[in-house]
Structure 1
Amino acid sequence: MAETETKNVTSRMRQRPIVRLGILLISHSILVSIICCTAGVLALLLLPVLAKNSYISENALMPGSASSMLSYQDVLEANKLVRDISSLSSKPSGVAIESRGIIAQYMSDLGAEVNYHKFHPHLNEFHPLHFFSSPGSEVIQDNFSCSLYGVNTVGIIRAPRGDGKEAIVLVTPYDSVRGGVGEALSLGIAYSVFSLLARVTWLAKDIIWLVADSQYGEYAPVTAWLRDYHTPVFGDLGSLNSEMCDNNNNIYKLKENSIQERNISYTFKRAGTMAAALVLKVAYTNEQFEDTLSIYAEASNGQMPNLDLINIVNYLAVHKQGLRVKVEKFWSLLESQWLRFLGEIFESLGKLAKSLNPDWKFGISPSDYVEGTATLASSLYYQALGVPTGCHGAFRDYQVDAITLEISPKVSFNNKDRRSDFLLLGGRLIEGVIRSVNNLLEKFHQSFFLYLLTSPGKFVSVGVYMIAFALIVAPLPVVAASLYADSNDLNTASKKDKKSSNSDELGASLKSWKWLNSAKRVFVVHLWGAIVSLLPYFISQIRDCTPTTNFLIWISLSMLILLILHQILGSPYFHVCELKPQEGEWALLKSVTISSLFIGLSLMSVINFATAEIGALLLVPISLMVHPLKHDIKARSLRSFSRVICNLVLGVISFPPATFILLKGVFEGFDGLNAGDFWNWVESLWAWNSATYLYIDAKCFDTTASEIRNL
C-alpha cells in the first residue's frame, strides 16, 4: 500500500515540472540568494549603461515645427511690467496691493478675464489617514483672520478655436511683499507669452496665467487655487465679512480699487480641463557661464509627469534656444573613484562586445557613467522621498502633468541690455512648449509615467529598472519556504517518543499550525511599528522642544510601548528564554518575518516603486543573513564569529536613524550631525503626507526589531 502511494506521488511530481523546479530552488536557497542578490545589485549598477535616449512618442506634439511669433514688441511691454514691479521695492508700504493691481491691470489690458483668488495658507500637519492624498486637500473654512489670507491673481485667455473644454496653465510664483528681480523677470517672461497668445488665431486651448502669491510659500497658493478650481465654491472675494477686515487689510483694499480695476472680477473663474501646467521661475547664480534651464519633475509619492512633457522642453531648450539643460544630481558622487573604476570596466566590456558584433552597442565612457549614476541616484532618491521638488507637485495630485522650469541667466539681472535678450529667450521657450501642448487632441498618454532620469536626454523605463528589484526580492519567498521546511525537519528529528499512530497524526496537525505563534510575534512588532508612527503627532504638540529632544522622547516612548506590549501580548523577543525551546522555532520565526518583508515590499512597489527599490536594496541582504547569536556563540568557530560580527553591524545599519546618519555623512559630511537631523527629516515626510514615512516606521522599524528578535 505504501509503495503504491509512493508511486502515485512520484508520477504526480513528474507531471508537474514547476513543482520540481520549486523544490530544486528551495533545496539550494543559499545559492539562489547569492546569485539573485548579486545579479540584482549588478543590474542596478548597469542602469546608466542601459539608459535610452529620450524621444517624442506623441507625433502630434511636433516641437519646433513652427517659427516663433514672439517679437521684440512683446518683450518691450514685458520690460515695462518688470520696471513697474521692480520700482515698488523702494516703497515702504502698500507693495502687495499695488503689485497685484499692476499685474491685474496688465492682464486686463490684453483682453483677458482677470479675477482675484483669496486663500488661507495651509500649514502642513500630521494626518495619519491622509497619507495618500495631497497635503492641502482639506477645505479651509472662512473663520480665520483676514490678515492671514493671501491673494492670487488669475488671468484667462479664451481660445478662439477652442470649445472651452481644455486649458494650459502657466504659473509664476511671486512674493507680493518681498519679491525680487528674479520673480519680476519671471512675470515679464510670462507676460510676453501671454500678450502673444491673446492675439493669435491658432490657439485651441484656454490659457490660464496664475500669479501665485508666494509670501506664505510657493506650494500653498497653488494648492488652494487647484482645490477651489476642482471644487465648487459658493461665494466670492467680495462676500468676505467686512467686520472681520479693517481698513488696513490687503483683501479689503482690493475692493476699494474698483475704479482702477473695473474690469477685474472677484468671482472665481474657471476654464477647461487642464492638459498640462508649467511653473516658471528665474534664478541667478554667479557660477553660470551660460544660460541654463533646470527641470524639476518629481511630485508626491514618486509621481512623475509624462516623459513627453520633459522631452519637448529639453528639445526646444537645446535645439531652438541654445540653453544648457540640467536635472538634479548628487554632486558628491561625481568625485567617486569606485564609480569611475566601474565605468572603465563597463567601457572595456562595451569595446569587447562591439568587437564580437558591431551591432552590439554596449558601454559608455567613464565620465558619462559617473554623471549618469549621480543623476540616477538623485532621481531615485527624490522619487522615493515622496516630497514634491516644487509647486508643480500640486498639479500631479489632480493627475495633471506639470514641471517646474527654472531659468538661470549667465549675466547679472542688473544688465539692462541683456535683459531684453533674456526675456525673448525665455518667452520663446515657453511659447514653443505651449504651442506643442496646444496641438494635442487628448491628454498625455503615449510615453512613460514610470521612469528614472540619467540625464535630461536619457531615461530608464520601469521595464528595465524593475528587473533589479525583482532579482533582489526573488530570494525572499524561496528562503522563507526553505526555512519553513527546515523547521519542520528539525522538529520531527527532535521528537523521539512516538506512542501511537493517532498521537503522531495529532502531533503533525499541531506542528502544521506552529507558524501561527511566529505570526503572532511578528504581528506584535508590526502593531508596535504602527503605534510608533503615530507618536510624532503627539510629540509635536509639546512646545519649546528642540528636534533632538523630540527625537529622544520618541525613542524613549517607543521602548516603553514595546515593554508594555511585551507584558500584555507576550514577548515577541524572549522566546529563547523559554524552558524548552524548540530548535526549529527560530527558523520558523525568520520564515514568517521574511514573508512579511516580501509582502511589504511588493505592496510598496505599487505605491512608490523607487521606495521599494531602495528598501529592497537595504533590507533584503540584512534579512537573509541574520542568524541567532546564541547558536554562533556556542559554535566558537571562525565562521560563526565572522557571522556574529556581520549580524551586529547589519543590525545597527538597518536601524533607520543609523542609516540616515550614515548616508547623510557620506553625502554631506559628518560635521555638525546630530540626532535632531533625523527628526527634522522624518517631520518633513509626515508633514507632506509621504507614504515613505509609513514605510520607514511600519517596515524598516519592524524589520529591524524582527532581526534583533531573530538574533
Structure 2
Amino acid sequence: MESNPESGSPKKKPRPLVRIVLLLMSHRVLVSFLCCIAGVIALLLLPVLAKNTYISENALMPGSANPMLSANDVLDADKLVAEIMSLSLEGDTAGIEIPRILMKRVGDLGAEVSQFQFYPRPNKFHPLHFFSSHDSDSNQENATCASPAISTVGIVRAPHGDGKEAIILVTAYNAVNPDNGEALSLGVAYSVFSLLTQVTWLAKDIIWLAADSRYGEHEAVAAWLREYYAPTFYSTDKTHTNMCSAKNPHQEIEENHVVGAESFEGLRRAGTMAAALVIKVNVNKDSQESLSIYAEASNGQMPNLDLINVVNYLAVHRQGLHVRVGKLWSLLESKCLKMIGGTIEFLGNLARSLNPQWGFGIPESEYVEGTATLASSLYAQALGVPTGSHGAFRDYQVDAVTLAISSKASPYNKAKRSEFLLRSGRLIEGTIRSVNNLLEKFHQSFFLYLLTGPSKFVSVGVYMIAFALLIAPLPVVAASLYSDGVPKSDIIKSCASGSSSMNKCNKKSSWRWLQAAKSVFVIHIWGVVVASLPYFICQIPNGTSFSCGVSWILLSLVSLNICYQVFGSPYSSFKSSELHKHKHKQEWGVLKSVMIAAAFIGLSLMSVVNFAAAEIGALLLVPFCLMAHPLKLDMQDLTLKAFSRIACNIVLGLLLFPPLTFFAIQGLSEGFSNIDVGGFWTWVESLWVWNSATYLYVVLVHLPCWLLCIHILLHPCSF
C-alpha cells in the first residue's frame, strides 16, 4: 500500500465507480460528441429496428367468424342515407330533423334510445386550471345563448352480458349542415347497430352515439362523456333561458319540437367502456378506397396496440382495404433520407452476402416511407393534441381509435353506395366481435409505441435508447464544469472518504453554485410568468393572432426586464466581483453547470408525461446546452475549433428561439411559402386549449434554457 510522504498515512485510492466518473468528466467533450452522434444515429435506425405488429391477446381472434351483416341490414341503412341526403335543412328544420329521424329509427329497432343536449363551451385558458379539467365548471357559467346541440344515444343490451361493460360506436355529424360523408357514416353505424339488435352472441352492451358536431366533433363526444361519468343536475331550459336577455327563437323550436322534455330528463347508461370506435367517411372520387387510422390522444397517449392490430388485420385480410397512417409527405422526397436509406440497403446486402442469416437492412423506399410515418407519429404524439374525437375517450382511459374510411364511389350511386356500406359495416362488425370476446380490458400489448407503418411499430424499449443517449452527457458535463474550480486532489479525497457533498472541498465553489442557482431560478420564474401571459392577452377584445403573438413577445420582454430589476441579472455577480480573474471562467462555467442540470431535470420529467415531446426536445435542446460557450473567449482564440463553435452557437441560438423553431419546422413540412407570422400564436393557443403538457415544456424548460444559453454566449468574460 502506498503511503503519503507528507503525512506518513497510506494514500486511499478512489473506488472504481468514482474513477470511471472522473474519467468521463475529464473527457467530457469526447463523451458528449459520441453520445449525441449515437443518439441521432439511433433515431435514424428506428425504421430499421421496427417490428411487425402482432395480436398479443389470443381471445381477440379477429376474422375467426364469418360476417353476419346482410343485404337487408344494408338496405335499411341505405334508405337512411338517402333520406338524410334528400333533406333540405333550412329555417325551422335545421338542427332538429336528423335527431328526430335517428330517434325514430333506433326506437323501431327495439333498442333503448334517448337524446342528450348540450351547449357550446368557450375555450378559455386559465393557468391555475391547466392540468385540472375545466369541465368541472358549471354549465350555467359557461353556457352561451346559442342553440343547443342534440345527440342521439341508442343502447343494445347484451343477451349474454351482465351490463358491466360496453362497446361504443360514435358517428359525428353536423345536424345543421350535414355533408354526404356524414350521411354515409351514419348509414354504416346504423347497419351495424341494426344487426347487433338481433344477434345472440353479444357479451357486452353496445352504445351508438350519433353526436351533433355543430360545435366541434371533440366537444360533442366530450360533453356526452362528461354527462356519462359525472352527471350534472340542473334545469336546462329554464336556467339557460334566464341567462339570455332574449331567447333564441331557433332554440325554442328545438326545445318544443324535437322529442319532448322527457327525452332530456335522464341519459341512459350501460357499463364500463371497453373500447370505442369513431367512424368517419370521406367522399373522394379521385382516391382509392382506403382506411386511415387515427390513434393519438392528448399528451401523446395511445390506445392499446392490439386494437389497431385488429382493425388493420380485418381491413387488409377480410375487406381488402388499403390501410394508411399519418405521414410527413415532405420527407418522402428528401434526398438526404434517400441517401441514408440507400446506404442502409447497401450495408444490409453486404451483410447478407457475408452471412445469409444476418437480416440487417431494409429497401431504400421502405426506409424513406417508414421514416416519414415515424416522424408523423412522433410529432403527433409530441404535440399532445388529439387527432380526432377519440381523444375524448382516452382522457377516461378508454381505448379508442378513429376509422376514416375513404369512398371512391359517388354517394348518389345506389349500387356503389350499398356495396360501400356492406364492406365498411363488416369491418366494424368484425372489430366489435373481437372486442366482445375479451374478458378484461386491453392490457397485453403496448401502450407506448411509435408507428412506422400500418403493420410496423417501434416499442418504447427501443426508441428510449435514443433519448437516453442524448441526455446522458448532461449530468457528466454538469459535474465536470462544476468541479473545474475545485482541486482534483480534494475531489478524490472527498469521494474516497465517502463524502456526499462537495461543499467540504471548497466553500467558495458552493457560494458560486448558489449564485448560479439563483440566476437559473429567476429565469425559470420568468418562464412561469410567460406561461401565464396568454390568459391576460386573451382578454383583449378583437385581438388577431398576429397582434396577440406580438403582444406576447413584447410583454415577455418587459417582464424579463422587471425580473432583472427585482432579482438581478446573471451578470450582476460578475460586475460586483473583485476576485481573481480566473473566477470569471468559474462563474460562467458554474452557471452553465446549473443550467444543464435544470435542462436534464426538465427533460426527464417531460419524458414521464410525454416521451415523444421529450425526445424531440432533447434532440433540439441538448446540443445547444452542451455547446454554449462565451463568444468573447472564442473570438480571442483564433482557431478553427473556436470559429466552428461560434458559427454553431449563433445558428442554434437563432433556430432554437421557439417562434423561429416553429417556422423552421413548418417550412420543412409544409413549405416556406405557407409561413404565417400569426401561425405561431395559433399553434400555441391550440396547445393550451387542449391542456397539452408540451406548452408547459416549451415555456418552462425550453425557453428558460435557451435564454440561459444566450446569457452564457454573451457573458462578459475577460482575461
Distance between the aligned counterparts of 2:8 and 2:710, measured in 1? 42
Q: Per-residue displacement from partner, 1:411-454 (whole Å, max 9, x unpaired)?
A: 22222220000000010000000000000000000000000000
Alignment-derived partner of residue 374 in structure 2: 376
Alignment-derived partner of residue 320 in structure 1: 318
Distance between the aligned counterparts of 1:95 and 1:554, measured in 2? 41
Contact 1:127 1:689 in 2 (8 A): no
Q: Per-residue displacement from partner, 1:195-216 (whole Å, max 9, x unpaired)?
A: 0000100000000000111011
Distance between the aligned counterparts of 2:523 and 2:561, measured in 1? 11
Q: Offset at 1:256? A: 4.4
Say which of 677, 680, 683 aligns to 1:678: 680
Alignment-derived partner of residue 659 in structure 2: 657
- Any residues of structure 2 matched to 1:429-508 within 5 Å, and which? 429-489=427-487, 508=506
User: 1:686 is aligned with what amino acid?
Assistant: W
Distance between the aligned counterparts of 1:706 and 1:107, measured in 2? 62
SS at match of 1:221: helix
CA 1:98–1:242: 2 relative to 1, 3 Å? same
RMSD across aligned positions (CA): 2.4
Structure 1 portions without partners, runs of 5+: 493-504
User: 1:702 is aligned with what amino acid?
Assistant: P
How many matched pairs? 693
CA 1:631–1:257: 2 relative to 1, 3 Å? closer
Between 543-552 and 179-188, the greater mean CA deviation after superposition:
543-552
Q: Offset at 1:174? A: 1.1
Structure 2 portions without partners, runs of 5+: 491-502, 714-719
Distance between the aligned counterparts of 1:197 and 1:185, measured in 2? 19
Alignment-derived partner of residue 24 in structure 1: 23
Distance between the aligned counterparts of 2:234 and 2:540, measured in 1? 38
Q: Offset at 1:3? A: 5.0
User: 2:551 is aligned with what amino acid?
Assistant: I
User: 2:274 is aligned with what amino acid?
Assistant: A
- Any residues of structure 2 matched to 1:353-364 within 5 Å, and which? 353-364=351-362
Between 601-610 and 150-159, the greater mean CA deviation after superposition:
150-159
Q: Offset at 1:146? A: 5.9
Alignment-derived partner of residue 344 in structure 1: 342
Say which of 645, 648, 668 aligns to 1:646: 648
Q: Give TM-score scaled by structure 2 length.
A: 0.92
Distance between the aligned counterparts of 1:547 and 1:247, measured in 2? 30
Distance between the aligned counterparts of 2:34 and 2:510, measured in 1? 31
Q: Offset at 1:690? A: 0.7
SS at match of 2:167: strand
CA 1:532–1:159: 2 relative to 1, 3 Å? same
SS at match of 2:155: strand
Q: Give TM-score scaled by structure 1 length.
A: 0.93
Alignment-derived partner of residue 497 in structure 2: none
CA 1:629–1:117: 2 relative to 1, 3 Å? same
Distance between the aligned counterparts of 1:385 and 1:75, measured in 2? 39
Distance between the aligned counterparts of 1:60 and 1:522, measured in 2? 54
Say which of 412, 419, 422 aligns to 1:421: 419
Distance between the aligned counterparts of 2:235 and 2:193, measured in 1? 25
Q: Offset at 1:249? A: 4.2
Q: Offset at 1:577? A: 4.0
Alignment-derived partner of residue 209 in structure 2: 210
Distance between the aligned counterparts of 1:180 and 1:117, measured in 2? 22
Distance between the aligned counterparts of 1:520 and 1:410, measured in 2? 63
Distance between the aligned counterparts of 2:272 and 2:454, measured in 1? 28
Say which of 321, 331, 334 aligns to 1:333: 331
Distance between the aligned counterparts of 1:541 and 1:263, measured in 2? 39
CA 1:298–1:133: 2 relative to 1, 3 Å? farther
User: 2:401 is aligned with what amino acid?
Assistant: I
Contact 2:145 2:240 in 1 (8 A): no
Q: Offset at 1:668? A: 1.6
Q: Per-residue displacement from partner, 1:450-475 (whole Å, max 9, x unpaired)?
A: 00000010000000000000001000
Contact 2:120 2:148 in 1 (8 A): yes
- Any residues of structure 2 matched to 1:15-414 within 5 Å, and which? 16-89=15-88, 91-133=90-132, 136=135, 138-141=137-140, 144=143, 147-234=146-233, 248-250=249-251, 253-256=254-257, 266-288=265-287, 290-414=288-412
Distance between the aligned counterparts of 1:359 and 1:567, measured in 2? 67
Contact 1:124 1:136 in 2 (8 A): no
Distance between the aligned counterparts of 1:7 and 1:54, measured in 2? 64
CA 1:144–1:383: 2 relative to 1, 3 Å? closer
SS at match of 2:427: helix
Distance between the aligned counterparts of 2:550 and 2:144, measured in 1? 36
Q: Offset at 1:24? A: 1.3
Distance between the aligned counterparts of 2:342 and 2:573, measured in 1? 51
Q: Per-residue displacement from partner, 1:528-558 (whole Å, max 9, x unpaired)?
A: 1110111111112112232222222111111
Distance between the aligned counterparts of 1:346 and 1:628, measured in 2? 39
SS at match of 1:322: coil
Say which of 555, 560, 567 aligns to 1:569: 567
Distance between the aligned counterparts of 1:438 and 1:209, measured in 2? 15
Q: Offset at 1:23? A: 1.4
CA 1:254–1:73: 2 relative to 1, 3 Å? farther
User: 1:669 is aligned with what amino acid?
Assistant: G
Distance between the aligned counterparts of 1:91 and 1:296, measured in 2? 33
Alignment-derived partner of residue 689 in structure 1: 691
Between 230-239 and 115-124, the greater mean CA deviation after superposition:
230-239
Identity %: 59
Q: Offset at 1:227? A: 0.6
